[in-house]
Structure 1
Amino acid sequence: MPDAPPSPPSSPLRGGSLAVLRGYLGPLKWQVAGLAALLLSATGLSLTLPQLLARFVDTVRLGAGADVGRLVQLAGFYLALAVGVQLLNAGATYLGARVGWTATNRLRVDLLRHMLSLDMREHKERTPGEMIERIDGDVTALSNFFSQFAVRVFGAALLLTGAVVMFYLTDWRVGLGVTVFVLLTLIAMNRVRKLGVEPTRLEREGSAQLFGFVEERLAGLEDVRSLGAGGHHLRGFLRVQGEYFRRGVYSWQRRSVVWWLSMVLFAVGYVGILASAIGLYAAGAITLGTAFLMYQYMSMVEEPIDQLTQQLQDLQKAGASLGRISELLALRSGLPEGDRELPDGPLDLRFEDVTFRYDPEDPTAPAVLQGVSFHLPAGQTLGLLGRTGSGKTTLTRLVSRLYDPTEGQVRLGGMDTRDVRLASLRTRVAVVTQDVQLFQASVRDNLTFFDPALPDEAVEAALHEVGLGDWLARLPEGVRTPLPTGSLSAGQAQLLAFARVMLRDPAVIILDEPSSRLDPATEAQLTRAMTRLLSGRTAIVIAHRLDTVARADRILVLDAGRVVEDGPRALLAADGQSHYAALLRAGTLAEDGGVLA
């Protein structure tokens, strides 16, 4: 599959929090507007409810002269408005969740696209578990930030303003006191709100480390169990989990400072309001209903400030997550994007004095490849031989441009691979490794990589082409049959990988010893499929068994990153002094022996 393009320069991910909000909530403006309407309507009704309670209390105070019908009317109206508030809040919760998940899913797509655009050096430094936590966990922490932050803050501010105005309408002195109280509370909370940002970032970092630890151990579960290393890894898990727990507790403690401060301040505020209400009622300045009204409006002052407090804590989490996401977005690929397209038809491959180091910034780092030069004509197959660590896999990674050479050039179809668009190169160059990755999906999706544009007939034709026609006929739903992971033999998995390549119809194919773990019968079937696959295409076959390259046009032998032999297979086999002839006499390729020395 071609690489996903990097995030465009105008991506909202390049800006700050406001740019992120605009970028991801902008396309959802009508849903956001609906969410705002629901919240504002609920706010207006909430301000009306205490007025009804005050009238009810004052009507009851009339004693025997109270109008029962009026009381029933007020009670019914109150219940209707209270139910309306709950329905509006429920609708706002649903719509807010919908907005939040839609926005965060778009963010996940953009973040994943950016990560796929990075070169392999960046991916080697991070475990898959850590990347899952970064792309999913950190983005999930932003869900409330996207869905309800701006609207709820606005709604809370409106409710707070409305409640304070009601105090002024009751008594200007009480209104002034509440205003001072609100300002002092907001200033105090604003002073302490940043305390949780850095601890929350460390907590998310600890979560990423935990996910990475678990993922690595699950990937190597068979080795861990067979070697009896379970106890060691369990102790390691407890150590990583303990660190995550300590960071989580410390982060919660720092974030909860805002909440504790709010509790203390409102305890003081309620005492002040109750004292004022009792004093005014005793002086005959207000009715009992109005005194009750003051208490209700004080709770309405508390509610939006609590809401703001919660939003500030969510903002702390969002700030930490945005910071970690920004760290990923600051990464830049070491593979600059080219602007040329590879020509149609077969492509020749040429290495021109190529040297490669995995750390190109350090000239003293050992070179994996040193001065490698060779030419593979279009449509021919190259058998690549060499001991473990000789640079075979690294050489093929330069062809598919997972890395760029430190020195020299890799030319494909006459073009420097660095000048070719990555999507064009990855479409024309296919790689089949020994470890075939299969998904818990249908046969079709495993072959097409979830591309709906390819018809079922093309998938079926590819399976017949590689010799899996009988296997396909036994599937109950054909190519739509689910393919659980682990349900195939190693040979069938390799044949499926060949079928994937058939569907893409690339110009260059790289095979990393496809028959190294197969029995003779399966190997014969795979060899027939490989012959059909490589016909008319330029190919590199990394061989650990000489039978694999018995039909190769050319042989290239690497040793310690240098080319020690390169030439037509038939001529090298006939030359008794060649490395290849020596290997044929030995009957095997000694991976760790001294045959190639």
Structure 2
Amino acid sequence: MTLLPIASAKEVRSYARHLTLRHPARLAGVLVLHGLAAVSGLVAPQLLGGVIEDAGHGVDRAGRTALLILLFVVVQSALVATAAYASATLGEKVLAALREEFVGNVLALPLATVERAGTGDLVTRTTRDVDVLARTVRQAVPDTLIASVTILITLGALVMTSPLLVLPCLIAVPSLWPATRWYLARAREGYLRENATYSRITESLTETVDGARTVEALRLARRRLDRADADITEAYRAARYTLRLRTVFLPVSDVSYVLPVVATLVVGGLFHLHGHATLAEVTVATLYVQQLLGPVDQLLFWTGEIQVGGASLARLLGVDRRRHTAGPGPGPGTATPAEPGSLTVRSVRYAYRPGRDVLHGIDLDISPGERLAVVGPSGAGKSTLGRLLAGIHTPHSGSVSLAGTSLADLAPGELRHHVALVTQEHHVFRGTLRDNLLIAKADADDAELTAALKTVGATRWAAELGLDARIGSGAHPLSPAQAQQLSLARLLLTNPHTLVLDEATSLIPPGAARQLERSLAAVLEGRTVIAIAHRLHTAHDADRIVVMEDGRISEIGPHDALVRQGGVYAGLWNSWHGRVTQG
């Protein structure tokens, strides 16, 4: 399975920094609130240190000190709550922006890229990776921010209390620093590999469910189960690897950050005995180091989660078409849109796998308004040629151009304005019938929608339902033929001047399909139509017929001329015509 691209670590860091700095005022406010909360938490140790230092002189101030400590605890609690709310609000804004960009990137993906990668990887990125990143943005990032601010302010207070008592904190560095470096060096690749295994599981399950009838008919259940077991085993190994990273890193870090408390007490006591620190300074320093345990623990714990979130962010950023470098496909062109004109194919070669061409030196000229039929045996390259003519694929060599402008140089939106591909695959979105039609033309009125439905022969069932009827998953189901009629109605509303029909009427009964094609021919008078079909009545009605064999054009011409010629097309026509007559 070919996975979609993954953003580099540098790109992830740059994007995360850019996304965070989109709200500088909110970020500054969050930092100030957390800083004030951390400062208010420093007061209690100072007061307790003073009480202990003055313990030999009586406890007259104990009551007042207790009230002050209580006051600052309440203030700190209020500041923490306010800061947490501000962090959560900022996190949701950042997450919303990221989700919107991701949806935009998904919708802008070239169809060739999606087909090459399969649905499993894309589905996993839109579900699991988005959920993981949401947890990171909502919890890991704010908690890490809080911990970092608290640690910095507490260390600053510790230095101001007694610079000498900072030294015991360094006892954790020899074990904590190499452990952190070891973990971070392996975590990114480990989590990326783990996420990739989930993509493979999703892909395998999707294929099995979608092809359930085929699996049952060909008795492939055992083979599909074996593949699922293999995918799960690979996911288990990947998960065990990342678990091993955590089971090594977290215990080492837990022990490392507890040591400074003991060291501060011991070293602080020695300093006090030798007159280098007062009892109050030792007490305050020990309490400050003790206060550091929580934030340090939180920081180290969320380090792992941030690595998981970073891996998911890399996969989400990889969906951005601007980062695609693998495989052919039209780029985000900026050429001036072509006006309706001839579609020209010159010396085109194409391969799905390197070294295995499926098209070999195709040359073809299609005039404006011409109806061209592409026929041939299965595997001849008809659908591949159709995708090249529609700009879905970009040839490995040669060119496909419209009115002198290469399709690869047209921006996707402009390309679809001029050339549209209609296949036997279709989708009914959950919503009203009107919503499903307005996807093609947002400003269309009901009269236009009704006319489009009438043209494709959908008047009866559409009138029974009404434009406000809810259709799609969980609502009124449409038959395959009705869904395809809906898809063709969208096409009419889109109104491109060149159409590539790849067996677009294959799911509609022959009589209805023929009627539908005649209606399309009348409505699309003067437009270019390239019909790729196995039903040869389409070829009979075309201006010219292209016959393909083994990725090459073997014959080309009108129906009658090709039948008289007695070649490949004549054999196909006689065989098909005889079968239809017998039926």
Could you tell me the TM-score, scaled by structure 1's length?
Answer: 0.80
Gaps in structure 2 of 5+ consecutive residues: none
Q: Using a 3 Å threshold, how does the CA distance of structure 1 residues 232 and 405 change in structure 2: closer, same or farther?
A: closer
| 3-state SS of 1:200 partner | helix
Can you list the C-alpha shifts for 1:121-150, whole angstroms capped at 9, x where unaligned? x54542221133346655655557767888
**1:270 paired to 2:261:** yes
Q: Is the 8 A contact 1:510 1:540 kept in 2?
A: yes
Deviation at residue 358 of structure 1 after TM alignment? 0.4
AA aligned to 1:42 is A
Q: Is the 8 A contact 2:168 2:267 kept in 1?
A: no
**1:204 paired to 2:199:** no
Give the Cα separation in 1 of the matches to 2:492 and 2:102: 31
Give the Cα separation in 2 of the matches to 1:96 and 1:256: 32
| 3-state SS of 1:438 partner | coil
Deviation at residue 397 of structure 1 after TM alignment? 1.5
Give the Cα separation in 2 of the matches to 1:266 and 1:564: 76
Deviation at residue 108 of structure 1 after TM alignment? 2.1
Gaps in structure 1 of 5+ consecutive residues: 1-6, 592-597
1:257 is matched with: 248
Q: Using a 3 Å threshold, how does the CA distance of structure 1 residues 379 and 136 change in structure 2: closer, same or farther?
A: same
1:483 is matched with: 472
Q: Is the 8 A contact 1:342 1:413 kept in 2?
A: no
The 5 Å alignment of 1:89-168 reads 89-106=83-100, 108-109=102-103, 111-112=105-106, 116-117=109-110, 120=112, 122-134=113-125, 137-138=128-129, 141=132, 155-168=146-159
| 3-state SS of 2:465 partner | coil
2:304 is matched with: 313
| 3-state SS of 1:27 partner | coil
Deviation at residue 396 of structure 1 after TM alignment? 1.2
1:594 is matched with: none
Q: Using a 3 Å threshold, how does the CA distance of structure 1 residues 60 and 133 change in structure 2: closer, same or farther?
A: farther
AA aligned to 1:396 is G
2:351 is matched with: 358
Identity %: 25
Give the Cα separation in 1 of the matches to 2:420 and 2:218: 36
Deviation at residue 260 of structure 1 after TM alignment? 1.3
Give the Cα separation in 1 of the matches to 2:449 and 2:55: 80
The more displaced of 274-283 and 91-100 is: 274-283
Q: Specify which of 211, 214, 219 is matched with residue 210 of structure 2.
A: 219
Give the Cα separation in 1 of the matches to 2:343 and 2:302: 58
Give the Cα separation in 1 of the matches to 2:403 and 2:69: 84
Aligned length: 568
Deviation at residue 276 of structure 1 after TM alignment? 5.7
| 3-state SS of 1:358 partner | strand
AA aligned to 1:516 is S
AA aligned to 2:473 is P
Q: Is the 8 A contact 1:52 1:78 kept in 2?
A: no
The more displaced of 30-39 and 324-333 is: 324-333
Give the Cα separation in 2 of the matches to 1:227 and 1:355: 37
| 3-state SS of 2:42 partner | helix
1:595 is matched with: none
Deviation at residue 273 of structure 1 after TM alignment? 3.5
Q: Is the 8 A contact 1:200 1:317 kept in 2?
A: yes
**1:242 paired to 2:236:** no
The more displaced of 242-251 and 164-173 is: 164-173
Give the Cα separation in 1 of the matches to 2:394 and 2:156: 67
Q: Using a 3 Å threshold, how does the CA distance of structure 1 residues 224 and 530 change in structure 2: closer, same or farther?
A: same
The 5 Å alignment of 1:329-348 reads 329=323, 331-332=325-326, 334=328, 335=330, 339-345=334-340, 347-348=341-342
**1:426 paired to 2:416:** yes
Q: Is the 8 A contact 1:129 1:208 kept in 2?
A: yes
Q: Specify which of 435, 440, 443 is matched with residue 433 of structure 2.
A: 443
AA aligned to 1:481 is R
Deviation at residue 165 of structure 1 after TM alignment? 4.4
Deviation at residue 163 of structure 1 after TM alignment? 2.7
Can you list the C-alpha shifts for 1:567-597, whole angstroms capped at 9, x where unaligned? 2234445x37355555444444889xxxxxx
AA aligned to 2:350 is R
Q: Specify which of 9, 19, 24 is matched with residue 24 of structure 1.
A: 19
Could you tell me the TM-score, scaled by structure 2's length?
Answer: 0.82
Deviation at residue 314 of structure 1 after TM alignment? 4.0
AA aligned to 1:331 is T
The 5 Å alignment of 1:67-86 reads 70=64, 73-74=67-68, 76-86=70-80
Q: Using a 3 Å threshold, how does the CA distance of structure 1 residues 21 and 361 change in structure 2: closer, same or farther?
A: same
Give the Cα separation in 2 of the matches to 1:51 and 1:480: 70
Give the Cα separation in 2 of the matches to 1:86 and 1:155: 9
Can you list the C-alpha shifts for 1:347-402, whole angstroms capped at 9, x where unaligned? 333444x342306863xx3x433444444332221222211122211221221122
Q: Is the 8 A contact 1:355 1:408 kept in 2?
A: yes
| 3-state SS of 2:546 partner | strand
Deviation at residue 251 of structure 1 after TM alignment? 0.8
AA aligned to 2:453 is L
Give the Cα separation in 2 of the matches to 1:406 and 1:460: 42
Deviation at residue 435 of structure 1 after TM alignment? 2.0
Give the Cα separation in 1 of the matches to 2:249 and 2:193: 19
